[in-house]
Amino acid sequence: MAPPVSGYHAIPNLLARYAELIDTGDFAGVGRLFADATITVEENGLTVSGPAEVQAMYERWTRLYPDNGTPHTRHVTTNPILEVDDEAGTATCRSYVTVFQCTDALPLQPILSGRYHDRFRRVDGVWRFEHRHMINEYTGDLSRHMLQSFGGSVVAH
């Protein structure tokens, strides 16, 4: 039997997988990625847990475009500070996130910048999200991205 994959290898892939899923508009996939996790949002006190609640949150908040079914975004996760205890099967990561968007009416630009505080746990040899705390610090033009007000930004419909 092969030894378990180190969190130092698996967790960066989880961070990237989240960005890929949300940017392709696969909110069911995001829900599955957080199947064993809770997501909290600092600005509005929101807490969701499990695949159905996570999927519903993204469907309620995020505009998808009919041309390709995506939000026309790129979530870029940088500056990860990763601390892994492979023996215990636990890890934490603090990172920055910047969301870029480009639509017919909006030239490519950053629309949001913040931080993720994540916890992970290895379950049956597989690393999984356990908790994500989102802190959205700087917002730009969210009018083409969000479906409702968020973090003090008013969204035009």
Q: Are 131 and 40 in contact (CB under 8 A)?
A: yes
Fold of the 7-139 domain: Nuclear Transport Factor 2; Chain: A, (3.10.450)
CA distances (Å), 78 to each of 32, 44, 91, 112, 147, in order?
A: 23, 24, 17, 14, 26
pLDDT at 154 over 60: no
Q: Whole-model pTM?
A: 0.92
The four Cα atoms 26, 29, 35, 40 give a dihedral, to 10 degrees, of -30
**H-helix or E-strand containing 8?**
helix 7-23
- The tens digit of pLDDT for each residue in 79-135 reads 999 999 999 999 999 999 999 999 999 999 999 999 999 999 999 999 999 999 999
